[in-house]
Amino acid sequence: MTSLTSYGWNTHFEQHFHTYQAQGLEAGRVTSIEGFRHKLVTADGNTDAMLSGALMNGTDNADLPKVGDWVAFKSYDNEGIIISVLPRINELSRKLPGRTTEKQVIATNIDTAFIVQGLDRDFNPMRLQRYLVQIMQCNISPVVLLNKQDLVPDPERYRQEVIALGYDCPVLLLSATGHEGLQQWAAEQLLPGNTYVLIGSSGVGKSTLVNALLGYRLQEEGAVSDFNHKGRHTTVSRNLIMLPSGAMLIDSPGMREFGVTLEADEQGLNYHPLLTALSAECRFHDCTHQHEPGCAVVAAVREGRLPCEVYESYLKINREQAHYQTDSLEKKRVERQFGKMAKQVVQYRKQRKY
Ligand X SMILES: Nc1nc2c(ncn2[C@@H]2O[C@H](COP(=O)(O)OP(=O)(O)OP(=O)(O)O)[C@@H](O)[C@H]2O)c(=O)[nH]1
Q: Which of 253, 267, 299, 309 binds ligand X (CB under 6 A)?
A: 253
CB under 6 A: which stretch of 16-24, 106-114, 174-182, 186-194 binds ligand X? 174-182
Identity of the amino acid at 95: K
Between the alpha carbon of residue 120 and those of residues 23, 180, 199, 337, the distances in Å are 54, 16, 17, 51
CB of 203 to ligand X, least distance (A): 4
Site string for Zn ion, 248-287 (x = CB under 5 A): ----------------------------------x----x
Q: How many CA atoms lie within 13 A of 230 on its CB side?
A: 3
**297 binding Zn ion? (CB under 5 A):** yes
Which residues, in sequence order, are bridge partners of residue 16?
A: none
Is residue 147 annotated as involved in ligand binding?
yes
Kindly state whether residue 205 participates in binding ligand X, applying the rule CB under 6 A: yes
289 assigned ligand-binding residue: yes
Residue 112 host element (H or E): strand 112-118
Instruction: Tell me which of 38, 66, 95, 289 binds Zn ion, using CB under 5 A.
Output: 289
Tell which residue, 279, 271, 278, 259, has the closest CA to residue 323: 259
Tell me the number of residues near ligand X by CB under 6 A.
24
HEC string of 286-343 equals CCCCCCCCCCHHHHHHHCCCCCHHHHHHHHHHHHHHHHHHHHHHHHHHHHHHHHHHHH
List CB contacts of 222: < 8 A, sequence separation 6 or more: 202, 203, 207, 231, 232, 233, 234
- Binding segment toward ligand X, per CB under 6 A, in 58-66, 175-183, 284-292, 337-345: 175-183
Task: Please choose, out of 23-31, 230-238, 316-324, 335-343, the segment that lies near ligand X by the rule CB under 6 A.
Answer: 230-238
SS3 29: strand
Q: Applying CB under 5 A, which residues contact Zn ion?
A: 282, 287, 289, 295, 297
Residue ranges of the annotated binding site for GTP are: 147-150, 200-208
**Annotated binding residues for Zn(2+), as ranges?**
282, 287, 289, 295
Give me the residues that bind ligand X (CB under 6 A), please. 147-148, 150-151, 175-177, 202-208, 221-224, 231, 233-235, 253-254
